[in-house]
Amino acid sequence: PPVILLLHEAIAQHFWCIPFSVDGNPVPSIRWLFNGTVLTEGPYIHTRIVEYEHNSTVLHGCLQLNRPTHVNNGNYTLLVRNPLGSAARSVQGLFMKNPFSFNPEEPIPGRCWGASWELLAWFQWRCASPHPCRSQVSVAVALAVFACLFLSIMLIVLNKCGRRSKFGINR
C-alpha cells in the first residue's frame, strides 16, 4: 500500500510549496483536499513532482500555490491511492493573516449606506432593461460626426480664404 513519508507545512519559495514524499508500488495517484472538500487544481494551485527516479518508488513533490492569500489558509489533506490501498495525512496552511476586521467571504450585513431605496430600484430597473446604453451610444456617435464635419468645414474654409492676406503682407 502507499505510504506518506513526509508532509511539511508550507514553505515560501518562488511559489508557496507544501512539500511531500510518497512511497508506493504501483505509483499512487495523488489528490488534495482543502478544508474537507476536493481541491480543484489549476494554473495557480497545482501538484508538481520535483524528483522522479525510474529505479525508485518514492515520489518527492509539492503542492504549489501561486500568491496565496488569507482565503487559502486552512487544512490541506494529501490523499494517495493505488490498487493496494490508500493513505491520508493533513497539514495546516497559513499564508497570510486576514487583513480585514470581518470575513470577506461572507455577505456584508446591514443595509446600503448613503443610498436611498428609490435610487437602488432605479439602478436595478436600468440594468434590467434590454438596451440601457443605446441612447448614450447614439449621442456619442452624433457628437463624433459633428466634430468631424466641423473640422472638415474649417479645413476647407482655411484653405480657400487663407491664401490672401488681409493686411497686404505677402510671402
**Mean pLDDT for the chain overall:** 81
For residue range 22-31, list pLDDT tens digits in order: 999 888 999 9
* pLDDT score of 98: 79
Looking at 3.90.850.10, 1.20.59.10, 2.60.40.10, 3.40.50.150, the CATH number of the domain 3-93 comes to 2.60.40.10
**Where residue 104 falls among pLDDT bands split at 50, 70, 90?**
low
The three-state DSSP-derived secondary structure of 76-139 is: EEEEEEECCEEEEEEEEECCCCCCCCCCCCCCCCCCCCCCCHHHHHHHHHHHHCCCCCHHHHHH
Q: Are 28 and 22 in contact (CB under 8 A)?
A: yes
Q: Does the pLDDT value for residue 161 go beyond 80? A: no
* pLDDT score of 126: 52
* pLDDT score of 156: 86
Can you say whether residue 163 is alpha, beta or left, with left for phi > 0 and alpha for psi between -120 and 50 degrees? alpha
* Domain range annotation of the chain: 3-93
Average pLDDT (14-38) is 92
- The neighbouring-strand residues paired with 62 are 19, 48
For residue range 134-154, list pLDDT tens digits in order: 566 778 888 899 999 999 998
pTM of the model: 0.59
Assigned C-alpha cell, 100: 480585514
Give the single-character DSSP code of 72: G
- CA distances to 5, 59, 162 from 56, rounded to whole Å, are 14, 8, 89
What is the residue type of 134?
R
